[in-house]
Amino acid sequence: MKLDEALLTFDDLSLVVDLTQVTFIASVGVGALVEMRREVHRRQGRLIVVLPPQGRARRLFVLTRMVDHFEVRLTLSEAVSALRQQDPSPLLEEGMRPDQEPTPPPTPIPGGPAG
């Protein structure tokens, strides 16, 4: 079943999106994920994104702070288990303590590539 069909078919919807094999994600893909999250939350569902510790998709999620807005797991099995257990606890960055704040992304330098 295609994702748009699932969004149209089911009222109570929970999804796992596995980005493990993703090597590139453009702004259209990011927009689709944001829209998917909005629609799933509107229906009181859950959207879990699988992002392994390394990889371009994870780096994008960290740099854009999308990790602050999506429920993220390291593996597909962790995501499925969390969904089955209704465990919405957020993923901690590798080596973080539960009471530790995540490190914010670096501030762009004026006149630099991002500024």
pLDDT in 10s for each residue of the chain, 115 residues = 466 666 666 666 788 999 999 988 888 988 989 998 998 888 888 999 999 988 888 888 988 899 899 999 999 999 999 988 875 555 444 444 434 444 444 445 555 554 4
Q: What is the pLDDT of residue 77?
A: 93
CA dihedral 48→70→35→47, nearest 10 degrees, is: 20
Question: What's the CATH code, domain 3-85?
Answer: 3.30.750.24
**CA proximity to 38, closest of 66, 80, 78, 19:** 66
Decide: residue 101, CB within 10 A, 0-12 exposed, 13-18 middle, 19+ buried. Answer: exposed
Q: Which residue has the tokens 């099995």?
A: 77
Are 58 and 34 a contacting pair, CB within 8 Å?
no
- DSSP bridge pairs for 113: none
pTM recorded for the entire structure: 0.67
